Amino acid sequence: MSATGDSTGSTNTAAQSPTTGSGSGIDPREAAAIREVLVLTPGVQSVGEVVVHRHGDGALVTAVLGFGPSTPVSDVVAVLREVKAGIRAAAPTISAIVLEPDVAGPRDDMDTPTDVFVIRGAD
């Protein structure tokens, strides 16, 4: 699922500084402000790739934000709106924001929990 166009309690991972996709570089203060919004917004569990594309007098920010597998969709949407508002407040030259939620799926590298064997053995 991804939020397209001008789309809108957890542990965050450190985000790398936003990279510049085209045009002149981003102001380091804006990059720090964007990074702070992404990392400190409650509900965001991880921050993936963040890219800023300069165009004319504005810029497009794209970011991948991680959420837990049991996070309700309504919470994901609310967090995306909050992040978008935070970026706009922190970096007013940003003219468009695209946020892609990355919801962690169930891990397939885990062994079956031991309690499953115990419960089945008791039947």
Per-residue pLDDT of 59-118, as tens digits, reads 999 999 999 988 999 999 999 999 999 999 999 989 999 999 998 765 555 555 555 555
Residue 1 binned pLDDT confidence (cut-offs 50, 70, 90) = very low
Alpha helices for the chain (secondary structure H): 28-40, 73-90, 114-122
pTM of the model: 0.67
Q: What is the C-alpha to C-alpha distance for residues 47 and 3, in angstroms, rounded to an integer?
A: 15
Q: Domains in the chain, start-ordered, CATH in brackets?
A: 19-122 (3.30.70.1350)
pLDDT tens profile 34-70: 999 999 999 999 999 899 888 888 899 999 999 998 8
Two tokens, residue 74: 């309504």
Q: What is the C-alpha to C-alpha distance for residues 59 and 30, in angstroms, rounded to an integer?
A: 11
